[in-house]
Structure 1
Amino acid sequence: MKIVIAGGSGFIGQKVTELLVAQGHSVVILSRKERDPSGNIEYVRWLEKGSTPEKEIGYADAFINLAGVSINDGRWSKDHQKQIYESRMTATEELLRIISMLPEKPAVLVNASAIGIYPASTENVYTENSLETATDFLGKTVHDWEIKAKQVEDQSIRAVFMRFGVVLGKEGGALPLMALPYRLFVGGKVGSGQQWVSWVHVTDVVRSIHFAICNDKLSGPVNVTAPSPLQMNDFGKTIGTVLQRPHWMPVPSFAMKMVLGQKSALVLEGQHVVPRVLQESGFEFKFPTLRPALEDLLL
């Protein structure tokens, strides 16, 4: 297949590209920079004055939208929140325009999303059928992003919203920072320790994206989380066990709020999310439980 990726240079985008190329697909990465093609990877300029990516793409079997300013970079100042929100809206709006200009439409748009759309809770268990929507900054951003991307259905194109959990990887995602205190022998309970961590190995993230492209019965929200979420205290203990480090020094909530501001909600609050759609569709996780996932990434 010929697959177009927006956000292909990011942490997940690079991994997705590697998988798709390894499986023989050709990949077009939308980029703001001029780059030479490499093997099965082509680069097309977009979001720049005078750029007309639709003319260079020609046709595509699928689009993947991972574009947007990272929520993990910097404090959540008002300016940064505005960048996070507007970068997603702008990129998705442009993708809708590009797709509308293509004479031959793609079969599917796989759009990034996040479990932050669900309200934080220590008691609720969320599936794709859960209707509650968080009213905080992240919840509103994810909700509006999905509504925007859903407009592609007006062009009779299947839309899939991949609600990523806490993505664990070696080079990016949350794990390097989560593991650092343990490597320094100062790991321990963060906040109450009761908040849920609905995690997923980055390998299963990219496999699920490919699965969504190929499975034409998949549409709408898809929770991309391992089937065995843990509460933060147990998550931390597992990191300590894998690294052979103690789990002893608590980090109080107020300290996290002082350091991270509003962004502290990412570690002090959580959602218990299960990947019902993926499981019922026959997707098999390579890393369904945490310890093997951490051993793969940390050792």
Structure 2
Amino acid sequence: MTTTTTMTTLIFCVLGFQTMLGGFDNLWHHELHARLPQRTSARYELRLHAMREAIYGALYLAFAWVQIQGWWAIAVGVLLLVEMVVTIADFLEEDRSRKLPPFERALHTVLTVSYGLLLGLLGPRLWDAARLPTELAFTYHGFWSWFCTLASVGVTTWSIRNAIAVWKMGRIAETEAAPPAPQVIGASTVLVTGGTGFVGSALVRQMQHEGRRVIVLSRDPLQARASFGSDVWVIERLTDIPAETRIDAIVHLAGANILGGPWTQSRRNKLLQSRLRITRDLLALIARLDRKPEVLVAASAVGYYGTVHGSARIDESAASDPGRFQSDLCVAIEREVQLAERFGTRVVCVRPGVVLGADGGALPPQVLATRLGFGAIIGSGRQPMPWVHLDDLVGLIRHAMSEPVLHGALNAVAPGMVSQATFARTLATVHHRPLWMKMPAGALRLMLGEMSELLLDGQRVAPTKALASGYHFQHPALRGALEAAV
């Protein structure tokens, strides 16, 4: 093997390493964890990503099939330098707009070192090629030509997707830029925990539109400030709130995602402690405030009822199911939250079903599976599937804040109860796809253990208190809710 061939192979190996690591970073951090395409505040970062991916798309194709010489070699060198400038701008934007986890920072460091090595290897080759006559000649590198072609198609597709997301976000930003309702003297102040989450962000924006003063507790204050602007007071610790601060209502939504993984013992502890810790901090805050909040609305879930009720209709007076983790978790949360009543604060525990919305929650993965033809009836399909549209969940939280008659449990589910099979068929119909797959209950129980109960059992929950207290659902029927959500 000649020295030139060895060097070419080394360059492709470094490029392949950079490709695989960069693809993992995009999928794991940008898509799954930070959910950048769903965050309007991330549009500048996504714009940089789209530019960088477009550059890589062109470079991969050139490296795969073209012997670059003369001015073409200089053009490739310029693209590599532009990519470096875009990456630096991306690092600065990430530091401005969100709090990166340690693993993502470490991965970026490795990618930077790898890119520096790639430039060090390519630089002398491009310099020599730049002094040759300008021409484009076909070349073939075997496996690496096809690897780079595949990488070019993938990264170019990602670039186009990000560019479309940026365009859509710009349209949304123009809509949101409309002047909000003016702040009114004496307007209520609302503290929201979990304010940058799927439900929390929708609630905070609604509060802003109504002219309320909003305080957001967030583990990522950079993301919260970028999302909501300067008129929202973002805090990292509840101890940052002075005792003389007026807080009229608290909405407690924070807690680890219950669908984040199998319910191992360590995960059960995490799910419980992530909720109880913040709840206890809220109780400590209420205790030291000079003026106590009028109401505390906390998120629980229909999992409170467990599986003991079968197909019976369930209202807010129904009992829990001791020994079931989903029920015990909700009982522990509600018991802790209700301690706020000793301070004279009215407490409402909102119990939502599956929340339907385009930008998060359980619906987007189901929509993707359905569009790809992998929608499925789970188990028998006869199990009830309580659901609520995001607009109505936000509406019910606001209703619980403003309606003094409400206290204790509040079922946040739509009145149009359906079975899982009906849900799957309706979703397939909305997206004009067939529904032919069935997921055996045994396979799910084997894979997910007790967590499979969320999919296989269900609860026939009714919004009894919501309807009795005068709440009018915006999306009472499933088909209309799904069409609105997608």
Change (3 A) 1:41 1:137: same
* 1:4–1:30 contact (8 Å) kept in structure 2: yes
- Aligned residue for 1:28, secondary structure, equals strand
Partner of 2:270: 83
Which deviations, in whole Å up to 9, do the C-alpha atoms of 1:152-174 show, x marking residues without a partner? 00001100000111111112111
Residue 282 (structure 2) pairs with residue 95 (structure 1): yes
* 1:167–1:173 contact (8 Å) kept in structure 2: yes
Partner of 1:140: 328
Residue 206 (structure 2) pairs with residue 15 (structure 1): no
Q: Count matched residues.
A: 294
* 1:191–1:268 contact (8 Å) kept in structure 2: yes
- Aligned residue for 2:242, secondary structure, equals helix
Partner of 2:233: 42
- Aligned residue for 2:299, secondary structure, equals strand
Amino acid in the other structure paired with 1:275: P
CA distance in 2, matches of 1:257, 1:101: 46
More helix by share: 2
CA distance in 2, matches of 1:289, 1:190: 21
Partner of 2:339: 151
Shift of 1:45: 2.0
Shift of 1:67: 1.0
Shift of 1:119: 2.5
Shift of 1:40: 2.7
Amino acid in the other structure paired with 1:119: G
- Aligned residue for 2:235, secondary structure, equals strand
Partner of 1:129: 317
Change (3 A) 1:264 1:158: same
Shift of 1:296: 1.1
- Aligned residue for 2:241, secondary structure, equals helix
Structure 1 residue runs of 5 or longer lacking an equivalent are none
RMSD: 1.6
Residue 248 (structure 2) pairs with residue 61 (structure 1): yes
Fraction of identical pairs, as percent:
34
Shift of 1:184: 1.1
TM-score, normalised via structure 1 length: 0.94
Which deviations, in whole Å up to 9, do the C-alpha atoms of 1:233-277 show, x marking residues without a partner? 111110111111111111111222344333222111100000010
Shift of 1:201: 0.3
Give the one of 454, 473, 482 matched to 1:266: 454
Change (3 A) 1:134 1:284: farther
CA distance in 2, matches of 1:183, 1:135: 38
Change (3 A) 1:194 1:284: same
Structure 2 residue runs of 5 or longer lacking an equivalent are 1-187
CA distance in 1, matches of 2:452, 2:431: 25
TM-score, normalised via structure 2 length: 0.58
CA distance in 2, matches of 1:56, 1:41: 19
Change (3 A) 1:225 1:57: farther
1:1-299 correspondence to structure 2 within 5 Å: 1-35=188-222, 36=225, 38-46=229-237, 52-55=239-242, 58-120=245-307, 121-298=309-486
